[in-house]
Chains A and B, each alone.
Chain A
């Protein structure tokens, strides 16, 4: 039957990357073709400006970094607005029935999840950097006194970008499991705010609290949270994002669309 044998298939690795490239391009197209994406990014920038300006006005410290207000904004709102973009990219598809289309185009569940994570990770990283710069400008304008150290400022702005991206990827995984916006918001608030508060009242749980995403975020953005430095914070946030994606991949593979 040599005559009818199909042409040799391309190496699995290559075809997988070929599929992933297309899937990423599709996610990008989907993201930029929705007006809500641009509204959310504008909202994140405006919110950053407001929070950073308030933080700048309220800070009276000659050693303050002008990018400090940007970090405060990221921890207190910007990060969540940017993560909302990641959430809607997933839950918006389930809510409108277009999730079926997404899975028909990219039937490999892991590839689809990877494409969403890569695209949203990149977009939210850029959005975070932009918000970091907005916060920096607001800090420079509103701080009555500050010390501009290039390395510190660059690190802080970069930190805002990285944090926004990792929080968003964590949210992608969570949203893929929960599927609905309301449920995802609840789960995210539980993980970021309620769980640390609940654990805080337990004796001896301080270490556990520090290891949660909120503690890791603080360490990453504020150069340490009392227990460990920004490097460990970065690694922990990356681990949380990876854990979220791993759970999502398992659930998506087992579950019917």
Chain B
């Protein structure tokens, strides 16, 4: 369980993270989504006690990270793939980490095998490809068998095989009841991996909820209507507009309707005796929702700047 309350980080006049409050719950993968520079990494670094918040708190299982005696047993993190000394072997890197938190040394070969690095345990971390370094980072995060896992862009730079591996691996970890908090700037990745989404833009919370809700909140539901009679379609368009719906007609035989539910569109078509071939709700993609959410945040920030300048 991760709890952020009013978390804020300012660098001089620039606000990187702005009054962020949220809870990350166990047993699910929570995606942390935002454009580059939105404040994702800064937020994660504050949770992990690396950067000090200007205001607010970040609690891991009810305590600030820095107050945990053996933090690796509570929360495992992958913040940067290159977090091992390049001239130290993978085994020595993990052994030092294990000793620092009173974790038995036998965990080291266990986690190395779990991420598929058992064969190269004796190789220097500097000789690893980016994909191997990411795996070593995930092994490090798993070392203390923690309840909470926090991963910053874990699939960055991985080949499709590696992406698939990380995805299924995180799924199995969440299924064990762990809290998984995962950042990415790739919404397609999030759509496939996450159960819940937290979207931030310019350091502000834009959306927080199940993936479907975030998509629904970010886009308007539309209904697509298609029929063989152009006259009938035009008549239906008039009736729908009269009902307060927003109607566009991308083709003579097609309507895109928003503002009224699908059932109402069907009823109206029936009443007007319009012949239909297709009547369906259009599933908005997360990508659309995300673009909409983040573009609003950019506009908002822009407007605020203008207001300040005007005062």
Name A's B-contacting residues (CB within 8 A).
15-16, 18-19, 22-23, 25-30, 33-36, 92-93, 96-98, 100-101, 103-108, 254, 256-257
Q: How far is the CA of A257 from the CA of B52 in the complex (A)?
A: 9
Contact between B80 and A22, CB atoms less than 8 A apart: no
Residues on B with beta carbons closer than 8 Å to the beta carbon of A256: 45, 50-52
Q: Which residues of B lie under 8 Å from residue A96 when comparing CB positions? A: 82, 85-86
- B85 near A98 with CB under 8 A, answer yes
Within 8 Å CB of B99, what residues of A? 22, 25-26, 28-29
In the bound complex, do residue B100 and residue A105 qualify as a contact, i.e. CB atoms below 8 Å apart?
yes
24 contacts between A and B (CB under 8 A): A18-B102, A22-B70, A22-B102, A26-B96, A26-B99, A27-B96, A29-B99, A30-B92, A33-B92, A33-B93, A97-B80, A98-B83, A98-B84, A101-B83, A103-B50, A104-B50, A104-B72, A105-B71, A105-B72, A105-B96, A105-B97, A105-B100, A256-B50, A257-B50
Q: Which residues of B contact A101 (CB under 8 A)?
A: 83-84, 93, 97, 140
Q: Which of chain A's residues has its CB closest to B84's CB? A: A98
> Measured between alpha carbons, how far is A159 from B70 in the docked complex, in Å?
38
CB of B101 within 8 A of chain A? Answer: yes
Q: Which residues of A contact B77 (CB under 8 A)?
A: 104
- Say yes or no for B116: interface residue by CB 8 A criterion: no
Q: Which residues in chain B, 72-123, are within 8 Å of chain A measured between CB atoms?
A: 72, 77, 79-80, 82-89, 92-93, 95-97, 99-102
Measured between beta carbons, the chain B residues less than 8 angstroms from A18 are 69, 102
Main SS class of interface, B: loop
CA distance A235 to B86 in the complex (A): 39
Of A33, A103, A107, the contact of B96 (CB 8 Å cutoff): A33
- Whether the Cβ atoms of B92 and A107 lie closer than 8 Å is no
Number of interface residues of B (CB under 8 A): 34
Q: How far is the CA of A34 from the CA of B70 in the complex (A)?
A: 25
B298 at the interface (CB under 8 A from A): no
Q: Is B66 an interface residue (CB 8 A)?
A: yes
Q: Are B92 and A25 in contact (CB under 8 A)?
A: no
Contacts of B49 in A (CB 8 A): 103-104, 107
Other A-B contacts than A100-B83, A105-B71, A257-B50, 17 sampled, CB-CB below 8 A, are: A15-B69, A18-B102, A22-B100, A26-B96, A27-B96, A29-B99, A30-B92, A33-B96, A35-B87, A93-B85, A96-B86, A97-B80, A104-B50, A104-B71, A104-B72, A105-B97, A106-B100
In the assembled complex, B65 has its CB within 8 A of some CB on chain A: yes
> Roughly how many angstroms separate A180 CA and B206 CA in the complex, as a whole number?
39
- Minimum CB–CB distance from B45 to chain A (whole Å) comes to 8
Cβ-based interface call for B4 (8 A) = no
User: Which residue from chain B places its CB closest to the CB of A108 in the assembled complex?
Assistant: B66
The 5 closest A-B pairs by CB, nearest first: A26-B100, A33-B92, A105-B100, A25-B99, A29-B96
User: Whole-angstrom distance between the alpha carbons of A18 and B50 in the complex?
Assistant: 22
Find chain B residues with CB under 8 A from A25 CB.
99-100
CB distance from B244 to the nearest CB of A (A): 51
Q: Does B68 contact A (CB under 8 A)?
A: yes
Contact of A100 among B50, B72, B87, B93 (CB under 8 A): B50
A53 to chain B, nearest CB (A): 32
Q: Is B215 an interface residue (CB 8 A)?
A: no
Of B48, B68, B70, B99, the most chain A CB neighbours within 10 A belong to B99
* Proximity bits, B40-55, A CB within 8 Å = 1, else 0: 0000010011111000
